[in-house]
Structure 1
């Protein structure tokens, strides 16, 4: 398989996605970055940072839950950069912290549409492009410790991340004969702005997951970026279909 040269990272305006985009640029890849329109200015800043590292970059405003938007996003990356070798389907949302019976149909759809449908669409259109190119590739998605062991007050989120594991395995089976690997990273508690999505959740999560970890700490976005960096490399060519736990030991597979 040829060396990877062009990456697309979704949900890249902040947190884990931003760290992944910068790390891949440091590794020598050109990186297109995606997020929704409300995060456009943050993407502009990120594009500038990537370019200052000597790599080509571009921004793609798109809602990954919309099929035509994902199709056009991939087409735009190919037009701007000449191809697509690495798809990191990182975009995701956290569910509202609710008892199972209080999760509305609307809340279910909101979380599933981004986390599961969005991942499926990114895998699909990246796979189409990579097969067409005939030079292999890397497809990666965002799973979670909640995709290994459900969180009781996060029914929709847990289900969405379990779905990512199944999607990743299916993609690995289908695209493997074309030299394309498909894997997911399954983080535990990572210190990002997602922790601030609901009032008071940050302090509670920091305390709980620090106590649960044998390392007595939570993760940083750079920890996930390091794993993605390896999975993109030639040395990871024999790893596929995996959702790799990276959680400080709060859950063992």
Structure 2
């Protein structure tokens, strides 16, 4: 029988709903203490996630912070360490999508996607690494990429570019921080049954003149396992990345997509 996982102190960004919520709850089930983060607009939902984790007997606080702000990310890390004593795992999960033809994407929308999906991941990676290096005990940094980090989708240009960049950032960070005992990996969800994919479906349908649900059905029809994923599918892989079982794995961005077949 495998030994129980060592309890660790974790930050999960974008944890008020969807994949982030699933990851936070799974890591708490694994026995970890979890600081859950999201923006202020989601604070009520975020408090509920933290309360659910405490009900499992783990430590948890909800910290509202904007991951695109350097100062707020620093405060997030410092507050987490003040509360839990150290930082062992950072899950930079927060992200947004924008669905539109590249010809019609405004510079404001482009910058917003890049700010959250790339700048936000970079800031979380960097501040977590600085804290882990100061502690001197290594650590695990985990980021949110996407299937579009390998196979971009039409009408998801900014999102695809941002996630492709996360994949490169993850590899570079892994190379730089390996000497400190820090591993850096990313997860690449395929089509997930979350609010984000509901929005993508709605906007793709509008762009293509389809009925609502048709875009999602078209894409999900190519999944070998016959269904879209749920947050728990992604959370199971993040559980592995946060555990000692992944100690010899770094610089990887792995797809959890149910075996999507592309023509």
Write the distance in 2 (CA, Å) between the matches of 1:184 and 1:232: 11
Structure 1 residues 136-174: Cα deviation after superposition (integer angstroms, max 9, x where no partner): 111000000111111121110000001100110111011
Find out whether 1:93 has 2:96 as its counterpart: yes
Q: Which residue of 2 aligns with 1:116?
A: 118
Write the distance in 1 (CA, Å) between the matches of 2:110 and 2:100: 11
Mapping 1:214-233, distance limit 5 Å: 214-233=224-243
Write the distance in 2 (CA, Å) between the matches of 1:147 and 1:244: 10
How far apart are 1:199 and its partner, in Å? 7.1
Q: 2:151 aligns with which of 146, 149, 152?
A: 149
Q: Which residue of 1 aligns with 2:22?
A: 19
Alpha carbons 1:212, 1:250 under 8 Å: kept? yes
Structure 1 residues 54-88: Cα deviation after superposition (integer angstroms, max 9, x where no partner): 00000111110111110111011001110110000
How far apart are 1:227 and its partner, in Å? 0.1
How far apart are 1:206 and its partner, in Å? 2.9
**Mind listing any 5+ residue stretches in structure 1 that lack a counterpart?**
none
Write the distance in 2 (CA, Å) between the matches of 1:205 and 1:90: 25
Find out whether 1:213 has 2:223 as its counterpart: yes
Find out whether 1:70 has 2:80 as its counterpart: no
Secondary structure in structure 2 of the residue aligned to 1:23? helix
Mapping 1:35-46, distance limit 5 Å: 35-46=38-49
Structure 1 residues 109-130: Cα deviation after superposition (integer angstroms, max 9, x where no partner): 0100000000000000000001
**Mind listing any 5+ residue stretches in structure 2 that lack a counterpart?**
204-211
| Cα distance change, pair 199–141 in 1 and its aligned pair in 2 (3 A) | closer
Aligned residues: 250
Write the distance in 2 (CA, Å) between the matches of 1:251 and 1:28: 36
| Cα distance change, pair 24–199 in 1 and its aligned pair in 2 (3 A) | closer
How far apart are 1:210 and its partner, in Å? 2.2
Alpha carbons 1:16, 1:192 under 8 Å: kept? yes
Q: 2:128 aligns with which of 126, 142, 148?
A: 126
| Cα distance change, pair 152–210 in 1 and its aligned pair in 2 (3 A) | closer
Larger mean Cα displacement after TM superposition, 240-249 or 190-199: 190-199
How far apart are 1:204 and its partner, in Å? 3.0
Q: Which residue of 2 aligns with 1:57?
A: 60
Q: Which residue of 2 aligns with 1:84?
A: 87
Find out whether 1:245 has 2:249 as its counterpart: no
| Cα distance change, pair 165–145 in 1 and its aligned pair in 2 (3 A) | same
Write the distance in 2 (CA, Å) between the matches of 1:174 and 1:161: 20
User: Normalising to structure 2: TM-score of the pair?
Assistant: 0.92
Computed over aligned residues only, the root mean square deviation of the Cα atoms, in angstroms, reads 1.5
Alpha carbons 2:201, 2:215 under 8 Å: kept? no
How far apart are 1:230 and its partner, in Å? 0.6
| Cα distance change, pair 3–251 in 1 and its aligned pair in 2 (3 A) | farther
